[in-house]
Structure 1
Amino acid sequence: MSLPSTEVEAEIRLNIEGGVATILLNRPDKLNAFNDPMLTLWEAAIREVAADDAVRAVILTGAGRAFCSGGDVDKMGSAEMTPLQVKERLTKGIQRITHAMAALDKPAIAAINGVAAGAGLDIALMCDLRFMALGAKVAETYFKLGLVPGAGGAHYLPRIVGPAKALEMFWSADYVGAEECLRIGLVNRIYPDAELMEQARTFARRVAAGPPLSARLIKRAVYQGLDTDLSTSLDLVSSHMTIVRSSRDHVEAVAALREKRAPRFEGR
């Protein structure tokens, strides 16, 4: 699905340049809190970059002073929905983004430019890497609202920071600054606010310039390895190796190394 420019300008902006797709959450007046129309555009943007062979890396970030503050609070606090309706609201709502990101077989970087709270933090956790501005802060705020993490935070957070630290963050609901996020391994790198996006783009361009098949299979091997035993992981990666060893990009990489020149990768 291609995103018309008028819709892209509204709540989701998608820009593709030099092999890097940037998805911008664009409701700055609402701290980029998501609503149903925004989720539809957002899912379409993810699936578009997933299908576009020209895209080799993806950056997700927010407009204004927030990354994402979670779901629009105007939709919360109502007891009128039945249990089935509550469940369907999650599965047909924000969890569409969770599934789309999980299916994205390309490197994804969250550039956390400002506040990321609740499902907004969960969204950053769905990305492979997280770069954070020094002035940003994050929190898992579900407990304050008498809720549970509905977008995937209970799956992702303990895998990133460990179960004990994840539970501390969930139960305290405290905001965590950039330096502490770096210390506990929640983010990969921190930068001054004004440098965040350029640093994220620089890294994404570096990944995009590499062999895309290798990048995708490395990502697949890492995530498959988290849920399998060692023997299964080794078996899977040996199959991946047969694919990349027979690729034109591998031949090109070796030739470029021998000829002391920059490689030209084609993704095949």
Structure 2
Amino acid sequence: MADLEYTVADGIGTILLNRPHRKNAFTHEMIEQWAEILVGARTDPDVRVIVLTGAGDAFCSGVDLGSGSMSGERPTPLQRKQHLSEHIHRIPFALEDLDKPVIAGINGVAVGAGMDMALMCDMRIIARSARLSEGYIRVGLVPGDGGCYYLPRLVGHAKALELLLTGDFIDAEEAARLGIANHVVDDDELPAAVTRLARKLADAPPIAVRTIKRAVYQSARSDLRTALDLISSHMAVVTSTQDSAEALAAFREQRPGSYAGH
């Protein structure tokens, strides 16, 4: 079986980190495949939602330091920077370009880069037994893939600094209290809970879904006047689509809508 598996079914693309014997620590090859999947999903009409999860009893324990280009001789500062900027950073950049919702289903531990990969997603559903830690400080490192960017935007600067500087673990309930988790569910309910949310989003009008996601992130970087100007343009485009007319008709007729993405 592949270390990273990707399947598409009924509008839902699922990325499975599949190295349970290594707590789904990712390799260089997995990163390359992962980034290519996200880039392809952006324009794939068969994909409306992306789900990211891990096999076995872990979500992701971060980078596998003993694999491939991550092992061997100590890299130079330039090599280390290039490894991040030319490989690892492809994931957050691809996600930034992807205006389709991305859901992380977090089972078990999410540590270091594994936690950051979850933070990059738009929503997170967490199993009750899961534990999360930034962890870098414990091995004398800094978050190389975006933890210092994503975590403060979810939990605020003070709490983010505490988690980053201590490497402390938090449980699922604390993750929910801090706003990291959208939902906490029993371990055996995680796959079904993730599928329910993904199914609900995949069944919604895709142009409206993608536009709402885009507007939320655009607004976070804009002043009020700019955000309202953008959303007025978005509204004008969305209401001109066949899917918008179908959604209104379905609402009036109290039936599920059928959307083609145009």
1:160 to 151, 154, 159: 154
Q: Deviations over 1:33-62 (max 9, x none)?
A: 111111112112222322211111111000
Q: Does residue 69 in structure 1 map to residue 61 in structure 2?
A: yes
State the alpha-carbon separation in 1 of the partners of residues 221 and 35 from structure 2.
26
What's the offset of the Cα at 1:96?
1.2
Q: Does residue 120 in structure 1 map to residue 114 in structure 2?
A: yes
What's the offset of the Cα at 1:261?
2.0
2:198 aligned partner: 204
What's the offset of the Cα at 1:258?
2.0
State the alpha-carbon separation in 2 of the partners of residues 77 and 144 from structure 1.
19
**TM-score, structure 2 as length reference:** 0.96
**Equivalent residue letter for 1:147:** L
Moved more, 57-66 or 251-260: 251-260
1:264 aligned partner: 258
**Equivalent residue letter for 1:172:** T
Report % sequence identity.
48
1:50 to 19, 42, 48: 42
SS in structure 1 at match of 2:66: helix
Q: Deviations over 1:210-249 (max 9, x none)?
A: 0000000100000011111111111111111011010111
1:253 aligned partner: 247
1:138 to 132, 135, 140: 132
SS in structure 1 at match of 2:168: coil
Q: Does residue 233 in structure 1 map to residue 235 in structure 2?
A: no
**Equivalent residue letter for 2:150:** Y
Q: Does residue 41 in structure 1 map to residue 33 in structure 2?
A: yes
**TM-score, structure 1 as length reference:** 0.94
The list of structure 1 runs, each at least 4 consecutive aligned residues, that deviate by more than 4 angstroms after superposition, is 75-79
State the alpha-carbon separation in 1 of the partners of residues 223 and 239 from structure 2.
24
2:142 aligned partner: 148
Gaps of 5+ in 1: 1-8
State the alpha-carbon separation in 1 of the partners of residues 81 and 176 from structure 2.
34
State the alpha-carbon separation in 2 of the partners of residues 78 and 222 from structure 1.
43
State the alpha-carbon separation in 2 of the partners of residues 148 and 98 from structure 1.
17
Gaps of 5+ in 2: none
Q: Does residue 91 in structure 1 map to residue 85 in structure 2?
A: yes
SS in structure 2 at match of 1:187: coil
What's the offset of the Cα at 1:120?
0.5
Say how many residue pairs are matched: 260
